[in-house]
Amino acid sequence: MVLADLKLRAEYDGLIYLAESQRKLPSLQSHHHRELELNFVVQGAITYVVDGHRFRFSPGTLLWLFPGKEHQLIARSENARFYVVVFTPSLIDKACHIGRYQELKQSPEGRGKLASTVLDPKRFDLISKMMASLMDGALDSDLLNREAGFGAASDFRFEHPDPDALNAGLQYLLLLCWRYQTEANTSGEAIALHPAVKRAIRILSESDAGQNLDALSRACGASKSYLSRTFHRQVGVPLHQYRNSLRLARFFEVYRGAGESTMAEAVYGAGFGSYAQFYKVFTQAYGCGPRECFSPKA
């Protein structure tokens, strides 16, 4: 499992940003982190895989991804807009005292896969306004989306013009949203993935050894056609699209990491068979060529 370092500086008790499909969000590998993550779907739909189950969330959903829980955002609609909010363990310790909030302090083993609820219009409007106010004066939205909020494997760091106000707002937001969750006491509708599909996700997430469909299907104990058809039906995206999203995530991690990798080295290190293949996948995902998105190292 990949442990993601959100790289929050000491003055921050968390972070918040508005993720938007139209801003060409980067893909992220399956990962977990020590912080509590809350997603709030404003528009469109997002799809996660957690513990071998697929979950799809519609507008108005509050989605809780608990510390230590492996999760992966595998699909989002073209019009998706959703807030991503992160709360540090120290914030949870400071904010949660009475019984209602003690579940937020439980270990991952003490919880289910995730928790979610759909807000009524009045609560939806209130939470939307609260989150928008916490974003006031924050970093440019294009930058935050390009860096997935925190800057995967780069020297990017989340910043806010008023950390004290942000921290106070995050604490109140945490308690209010969890109160709404416990009052509704619902969770997302889970679709259990076929063992072959779960195996394919694991293999592709751990390495690109399964890039050949023949080899991947054999490793998963299924025919090529059955694996491709079942994967698409259950996960919601074609197998080749999922594989390419992981390759793009690896490319960003290698190229924007601390090393001195050139673009070509990052392309092949991510598992692409050629630069032409990488270029086609990149432009389809982000609407422009890689050299238009950032200045190359070489």
Asked which of 8-12, 81-85, 157-161, 240-244 is least confident by mean pLDDT, the reply is 240-244
Q: How many other C-beta atoms can be found within 10 angstroms of the C-beta atom of residue 99?
A: 7
297 pLDDT higher than 50: no
Q: Which of 141-145, 171-175, 246-250 has the highest mean pLDDT?
A: 171-175
275 pLDDT higher than 60: yes
Distance separating alpha carbons of residues 298 and 278, to the nearest angstrom? 16
97 pLDDT higher than 70: yes
Q: What is the mean pLDDT of the chain?
A: 87
Average pLDDT over residues 265-269: 87
173 pLDDT higher than 80: yes
Q: What is the pLDDT of residue 80?
A: 95
Q: What is the pLDDT of residue 116?
A: 93
The model's confidence at residue 273, banded by pLDDT at 50, 70 and 90, is confident
Topology at the third CATH level for domain 2-190: Jelly Rolls (2.60.120)
Average pLDDT over residues 202-227: 84
Q: What is the pLDDT of residue 282?
A: 86
Specify the DSSP class assigned to residue 13: S
Average pLDDT over residues 143-159: 83
298 pLDDT higher than 50: no
Q: What is the pLDDT of residue 246?
A: 83
| Residue 95, both tokens | 């904010």
List of residues 6+ apart from 284 with CB closer than 8 A? none
Q: What is the pLDDT of residue 217?
A: 92
Domain boundaries, the chain: 2-190, 194-293
Average pLDDT over residues 70-84: 91
296 pLDDT higher than 60: no
**Which H/E stretch holds residue 146?**
helix 141-146
Q: What is the pLDDT of residue 147?
A: 85
pLDDT digits (tens, 9 = 90+) for 186-213: 656 678 889 999 899 888 877 765 568 8
Distance separating alpha carbons of residues 182 and 168, to the nearest angstrom? 22
Q: Could you give phi then psi for residue 136, rounded to 5 degrees?
A: -60, 120
Average pLDDT over residues 219-236: 91
65 pLDDT higher than 90: yes
Q: What is the pLDDT of residue 23?
A: 85
| pTM summary value | 0.83
Q: What is the pLDDT of residue 236?
A: 81
User: Measuring CA to CA, which residue among 81, 65, 71, 62 is closest to residue 17?
Assistant: 81
More confident residue, 214 or 128: 128
Distance separating alpha carbons of residues 69 and 252, to the nearest angstrom? 23
- Say which CATH superfamily domain 194-293 falls into: Homeodomain-like (1.10.10.60)
Query: How far from 200 is each of 48, 73, 101, 193, 290, CA to CA, in Å?
Result: 16, 16, 37, 11, 28
Q: What is the pLDDT of residue 189?
A: 67
More confident residue, 190 or 37: 37
